[in-house]
Structure 1
Amino acid sequence: MSDEVTNHLGGFRVENGTRSMTESVLSRVHHGIFMMAAARLQREVKMVASEAFVTGIEGDDFKNEVEVLTTLLDTYSIDSGSVLVSVFSDVTALTRSAKDLRQLVTGLDSIRVLCRVEAGRLGANSVSLMPVIDQLDKFHIEIDATLERIMHLSERVKTLVEASMPRVFNGSLRYHHS
């Protein structure tokens, strides 16, 4: 069981264990937010450029500029959405790992209870086991609370990421060019 726990803890690391999931997600969220801001600026520039072209302030040669701005806007929107989709997927996997770990910890908890029962049966001969059992009690409470917090925060991050997705991404989290 401890090997399974160790394997599941690997789910909290990415890039071959060189970075924590938190570092990776935070980095990508920052990138996604930057790209969303760039897309918003690009949209405003495109609107001003399109208006200048339509009103005749700019000549026909400016049409290429508007097309370039449109391409950049689409690229930035796709990039920001893709980054946020990857964050959503990783956070979903993190939630699943936390749930799996919680089940494994519950299994380990039954061993702790059996150990306490055995210590009670042994009476005075089990005095040296009591500090270990007490540590296991504290560990179980602490790990359970931590996993609960991870699951709660993961759900919150997923909700925020989904709300931040560019409108061109639908509920299936796939890009639909408009």
Structure 2
Amino acid sequence: MNTMTMKEFDSVQREPRARAAAEVNVEEPFNVEEMFFSRTDTRGVIEAYNNIFIRVSGFSSEELKGAPHKLIRHSDMPKGVFWLLWNGLENGHPVGAYVKNKNKEGHYYWVFALVTPVEGGYLSMRIKPTSPQLALVEGLYKEIRKLELEQKLSAEESAKLILERLAGLGIHSYGAFQAHALHQEFEARRKALQMPAFSDLSNTETIAVTSELLRQELDQLADKFKSAEILTANMKIFAAKLAVGRATINEIAKNYDLMLNDIRNHLNTLVVPPVGTGIWDVPEELGAYFMICASHLMTEMCDTFEAHKCDVDGVDSDYENRVLIKLQKEYDKKSERAVAYGVQSAASIQRRAEFLRRMVLGLSTIRIACRVEAGMLRGKAKGLETIVSRLDVFHDEIEAHLEKIQHHVTTILLAADEHA
């Protein structure tokens, strides 16, 4: 697909043939159940839309057709948001974004837009944002827009500021932000419309949340084994001070150290790799949120468009319906792949965790040998009892981590079975 830079995109939009009135601080209402869309070519020129877009925008079908999408851009919108939008689209990603638009009368209206590359351009489907996330976004946009104007920031510089602010909130990529945001808006809308919960989304949420807990537990377990080196080091120090039993304790320490090293190497294959830090990097299971919500919304959009297609002048309804249906199927396939990845990962971790448990059992056998030797030496090995006590605490902690890991894996696999 041919794409363009934001500078090139803006250049084709400088002279819209239709214009909106001066902006006024009046909100243009539309209902939470209403959904609208528009499709543009690769330059952002409007080629298709539905009747709700016509009504909310205030422009006629004749004014919208062939007009640049910039026609409805509100001056409160930071340039950085559009930089992120086009960066995602040019890299083949669907992009979710909060957008403040203006209509022909200069009234504003907020949407959560899901923009997706399609053949020959892009399709933007919009819903009314109703979650608490909108208030956070309004504050962020106001701050960034103010800095843009004061410091004459470029669109890319503005985008970097947005990403920095999101990172400060614990959201380390725009891909993660849009997944969280779409999920929140989807659920807020579902509850407002008193719709039943979607089981596939509920199960995916369980998989995503539990996968993060599993990732944290594995990281903690790896750190615990790294810190265990001090245990064998202390054994060797005490052995060097012994007149009797030195060789035995040294051998126990040596075997314990070798087993620890084997376990650490095994953990390198078990620990879930960290997610990348790029703009669009996001855990697979979290990405499934995005795809499932998008799939459901696109299904509803197809139904809505089909119901009102006779009211849309200048639009080939049959063609647009095919575009929407194709897009819905693509989102559905992507969501299934994301869930399948989570299931395969959990199953692999379960197998390796079972092997790890057997390795820990072997390690525990060496610990018992140390305890027996300490009992035999009694007062001749003062301090060895303390080491044995620390080994006992270490093994209890390891067992607790293994129990949590097994619990998380089981939860993921059960949710995946229900999803299937």
Amino acid at match of 1:110: T
Matches of 2:340 and 2:350, distance apart in 1: 15
Task: Between the two structures, name the one with larger relative contact order (CA 8 Å, sep ≥ 6).
Answer: 1
Matches of 2:350 and 2:382, distance apart in 1: 39
Alignment of 1:29-178 (within 5 A): 29-53=285-309, 56-57=310-311, 61-163=316-418, 165=419
Pairwise CA distance, 1:57: 4.1
Which of 1 and 2 has greater Rg?
2
TM-score computed with the length of structure 1 as normaliser: 0.78
Please say if residues 120 and 126 of structure 1, whose CA atoms lie closer than 8 Å, have aligned partners that are also in contact: no
Matches of 1:114 and 1:34, distance apart in 2: 53
Amino acid at match of 2:384: L
Amino acid at match of 2:302: K
Question: Kindly tell me: are residues 123 and 149 of structure 1, through their superposed partners in 2, closer, same or farther at Cα, counting changes over 3 Å?
Answer: same
Matches of 1:162 and 1:28, distance apart in 2: 18
Query: Identity, % of aligned pairs?
Result: 29
Structure 1 alignment gaps of length 5 or more: 21-25, 166-170, 172-178
The number of equivalent residue pairs is 154
Matches of 1:38 and 1:161, distance apart in 2: 19
Q: Which of the two has greater strand per residue?
A: 2
Pairwise CA distance, 1:58: 5.1
Amino acid at match of 2:293: A
Aligned to 2:264: 6
Q: Can you list the C-alpha shifts for 1:71-130, whole angstroms capped at 9, x where unaligned? A: 100110011110111011111122222221111111110111111111111221222211
Amino acid at match of 1:2: L
Q: Which of the two has greater helix per residue?
A: 1
CA RMSD of aligned residues (A): 2.0
TM-score computed with the length of structure 2 as normaliser: 0.35
Please say if residues 28 and 87 of structure 1, whose CA atoms lie closer than 8 Å, have aligned partners that are also in contact: yes
Pairwise CA distance, 1:42: 0.1
